[in-house]
Amino acid sequence: MAMPLEAMKSPSTAQASSNGASPLPTYVTGYRNLTLLYGCPFSATDPGYFNCTGYNIISPHSNVSFPINVFIETRDYGSEECNYSVTFHVAKDTTLEAYALQEAISEGFKLKWDLSSKACEDCRNSNGSCGYDKVEFVCYCPNLPYHLSGSVCANSSLLIIQSPASSGSTARVLVVILIIISILLISGLLRKFIARDDDYSRKKRESDQNMEAFVNNFGSLVLQRFDYSFVKKMTKSFSTRLGQGGYGEVYKGKLPDSRLVAVKVLKESKGNGEEFINEVATICRTSHVNVVALLGFCYNKNKRALIYQFMSNGSLDKYIFDKKSSSNLEWKTKYHIAIGIARGLEYLHRGCNTRIVHFDIKPHNILLDEDFCPKISDFGLAKLCKNKESIISMLGARGTAGYIAPEVFCRSFGEVSHKSDVYSYGMMILEIVGGRNNIVACESHTSEIYFSNWIYKQLEPGRDFEISGAVTEEEKEVAKKMIIVSMWCIQTIPSDRPSMSKVVEMLEGSLESLEIPPKPSLSLPTRSPKHSIPSSSLSTSKSAQRPASQGEVCIELSDM
């Protein structure tokens, strides 16, 4: 038989826990400590020796067994000279014989606990049970699978007082409650998602029905409908990107008859197809040399595209804002571009059975063919007016900051009408003359000043008219004519602006026949607008990050 050796410290010598609990259990009377020594250099004739025949001791350090030679610790010698010692608590009347010692040790000993201590009293007052865990007092709390090392149960007022026998049933009840709550939450989320999906599906079906009805109604028009796979094939999987419009990106493509086309692929996230219907329905009604031609369209539910004639020279903005390109644009070409755009707008306002207001006239939406003939494009924001109505009802502002007429975002200036396009046209012509973006130019404040203040000084009798890029008298006359016409177009009050027919007449007439227009107002009306719309709802182009005040225009001057 082998038994391990270990040192045993008497519980009576342990200290009370540091948390203020009561002293640990103590021995009852009638017991004494007995220390046995092993591996001592004493002889068998020394007092307290006896031999444990048949027993071996296994050292916990070396796992080596050796015969037991035991000495009882006496006053004559102690444990300092021995290898091991074990202290037991045995009855006082135990006989110091091997068989008697083994029996006494097996019986163990008794401890007593003072239940009247403050720590135990606090534990019991907090619905806990007093206990002891090896070396410290512990408080066992109800409904917890573990004990607390403090003297009281934490948050005892929130605990359910019940017997240990009922704790298992309580746990099962809690599990059932949690399962029910989880099922209710999941069911609510599922109903919400299903309702949202049903609402989306309903709107999608309505949109598809509207689109199909539109396609059927316009089936008699000379428009070809393309399949999306064919659109992908004609653009070589959309490999050549020409630019980006208000509602999608534009790619270069080629028809089977070798005609080059511009394919505008509409973004899926933009509305329910209103912009697609709007653009197709608008351009279907047009046929003019200065309006881009729509050759066909593609509608496969969420795949929508518009196929236009290809404009080899791109959009007008790169010839205005790019210094290298604008240097190649002669004043004669600028003048013809201005007249062409004016004729296109005149046609939209008067030449169709239904008046069309574009609402987004800007250089980016003016395309140039190989002969620099301008063509108005991008009718996604256009409005159709039946019977050539003058006043347009709108719930929100539309257009690009820097080109929007005052009345579009503030009804105090007047009613929205085709005169809103006239204002945008005037702002764009000033950019053509100045060769730069008016809004960006106003931010630099280097060689440019506010146009409306400068123009009156330039038109004073006897003063030379000077503008950057205009060298000959003919060029200066063209520039002056374009500026005067554009100033009429950007008048703050819509009724003070000319119609596009009058604009064409003024551009084609002589400079001497033109009157100097009133100076445009640079501020909004002092009274609170009745139907003002926040400018934050307006779209902003990349080249125009800050809207300028109405009538605020800049132009580059030379040698002022």
Annotated binding-site residues for ATP read 264
SS3 content of the chain, % helix, strand, coil (to 5): 35, 20, 45
Using DSSP's 3-state secondary structure scheme, residue 435 falls into: coil
Tell me which residue of 468, 443, 422, 442 sits closest to 552, measured CA to CA: 442
How far is residue 534 from each of residues 205, 531, 553, measured CA to CA in Å? 33, 10, 21
Element (H, E) at 323: helix 323-326
**In whole angstroms, what is the distance from residue 54 CA to residue 98 CA?**
11
DSSP assignment of 528-541:
PPSS---GGGSB--
Using DSSP's 3-state secondary structure scheme, residue 179 falls into: helix
**In whole angstroms, what is the distance from residue 468 CA to residue 446 CA?**
14
b (16+ CB within 10 A) / e for 373-386: ebbbbbbbbbbbbe
Q: Which residue has the tokens 């002969």?
A: 371
> Which of the following is catalytic: 122, 317, 360, 421?
360
Q: Which residue has the tokens 């013809």?
A: 336
Provide CB contacts within 8 A for 559, sequence distance 6+.
466
360 is catalytic: yes
Tell me which residue of 229, 226, 246 sits closest to 238, measured CA to CA: 229
CB 426 within 8 A of CB 327: no
| Interaxial angle between packed helices 419-434 and 473-489, expressed in degrees from 0 to 180 and rounded to the nearest 10 | 150
* Residues marked as catalytic: 360
